[in-house]
Copies of this chain bind each other. A is one copy, B any other.
Amino acid sequence: MRDFSIDHSALALNTASLGHNLDGHGAGWEPERIIDACAARGFGSIVFWRREIGTRAIAIGERARAAGLSVAGLCRTPFLVGTQAIDKAMVLDEAKASIDMAAGLGAAVLTIVVGGVHPGTKGTAESLKIVADRVAALAPYAAERNVKLALEPLNPVYAGNRSCLTTMRDAVDICDAVDAPNLGIAVDVYHVWWDNDLDTQLQRAGKHRIFGYHLCDWLADTSDVLLDRGMMGDGVADLKALRKSVEGAGYAGPCEVEIFSANTWWKRDPGEVLDVMVDRFRTVC
């Protein structure tokens, strides 16, 4: 395993951790200010959300690289299935727009959150087949633009309306079925920390299909399943064991801190939050 205590250049910020500057959350920092704050603290890369980019993808990407940061990723495609994704042509068009944005930004990876159970079906299996079909339609378009697509399984609590994809096992199954060189998976501690089958599935995925590792912690007595994620070290996820599995399967890329935390971290000064991240990354991850 890499030794982060002496080198935190693998640390990446997912800008969601600073509150998105939406809905009254966050300190109102523009992408440029966030880039500079990360660069000053030795972060190696950054991950943006589409809402922050607007029409400025190329400029923001260049600005990040000029500051010494790589753009590790962009969040995210629209839902590919579920009640918001009934019209296949419309979904694919919007997904292609997100691929275009990732390409403009120079983002290495575009994350896919697949959406919930598709109308007219029950359970998750049928929806996952539709996901595979739609991902297969998008992968070549993304490949032409040098964008990798990362399927991210979410915690099963979201299976109804956000992600019928809940396990790494199902994600690797889709990768196998679609079999595109730029399709892989993203591993998010929040979503998979409980899964004792994870190590086996990451071995199945292999180093060429693990496109991201997202850090936070699961608070034992979490008060909200969307906006109460913990800072690394404050929860019950076994962060060392999870990284051992991810790196054991060959992953050596960025470790992206993604903490949705309306009542704790989003209320703090962004600079302080970034300082805490660096400290925790070097000590408990």
Enumerate chain A interface residues (CB-CB to B < 8 A). 83, 116-117, 122-125, 128, 155-157, 159-161, 164, 166-167, 169-170, 193-197, 218-222, 225, 235-242
Q: Is the CB of A169 within 8 A of B155?
A: no
Our pick among B166, B167, B236 for the contact of A123 (Cβ within 8 Å) is B236
Return the contact of A235 from the options B124, B160, B220 (Cβ within 8 A): B160
Closest approach, in angstroms, between the C-beta of A227 and any C-beta of chain B? 14
Given the known A-B contacts A160-B219, A161-B220, A237-B123, are A167 and B196 also in contact in the complex, defined by CB atoms under 8 Å? yes
Greatest chain B CB density within 10 A among A195, A219, A222, A235 is at A195
Please determine whether B123 and A221 come into contact, CB atoms closer than 8 angstroms.
no
Does more than half of chain A's interface fall in helix, strand or loop, or is it mixed? loop
Tell me, in angstroms, the Cα distance from A164 to B220 when the chains sit together.
Answer: 10
The reply to whether B123 and A225 form a contact with Cβ atoms under 8 Å apart is: no
* Interface contact A160-B236, CB-CB below 8 Å: yes
A104, chain B: closest CB distance, angstroms: 34
Report chain B residues within 8 Å CB of A222: 160
Instruction: Give the copy number.
Output: 2
How far does the Cβ of A261 sit from chain B's closest Cβ, in whole Å?
15
Cβ of A121 to closest chain B Cβ, rounded Å: 8
15 of the cross-chain contacts (CB-CB < 8 Å) are A83-B220, A116-B220, A123-B194, A123-B237, A123-B238, A155-B156, A156-B194, A157-B157, A159-B218, A160-B235, A166-B195, A167-B195, A167-B196, A167-B197, A225-B225
**A242 CA / B193 CA spacing, docked (Å):** 25
| Closest residue on chain B to residue A233 by CB atoms | B122
Q: With a 10 A CB-CB cut-off, give which of A124, A156, A219, A225 has the most chain B CB atoms.
A: A156
Q: Which of A194, A241, A242 has the most CB of B within 10 A?
A: A194
A122 lies within 8 A of B221 (CB): no
For the complex formed, measure the closest distance between the CB of A84 and the CB atoms of chain B, giving whole angstroms.
12
- Of all chain B residues, the one with the shortest Cβ separation from A219 is B160
Q: How far is the CB of A63 from chain B (nearest CB, A)?
A: 38
Minimum C-beta distance from A146 to chain B (A)? 32
Residues in B whose Cβ lies below 8 Å from that of A193: 123-124, 159
Give bound CA distance, A223 to B220, whole Å: 20
Complex Cα distance, B159 from A222, in Å, reads 10
Given contacts A196-B124, A241-B122, contact A157 B160 (CB under 8 A): no
Q: Chain B's nearest CB lies how many Å from the CB of A115?
A: 11
Contact of A238 among B122, B166, B237 (CB under 8 A): B122
Minimum CB distance partner of A124 in chain B:
B194
Closest 7 CB pairs of A and B: A123-B238, A122-B238, A157-B157, A160-B220, A159-B194, A117-B236, A156-B194
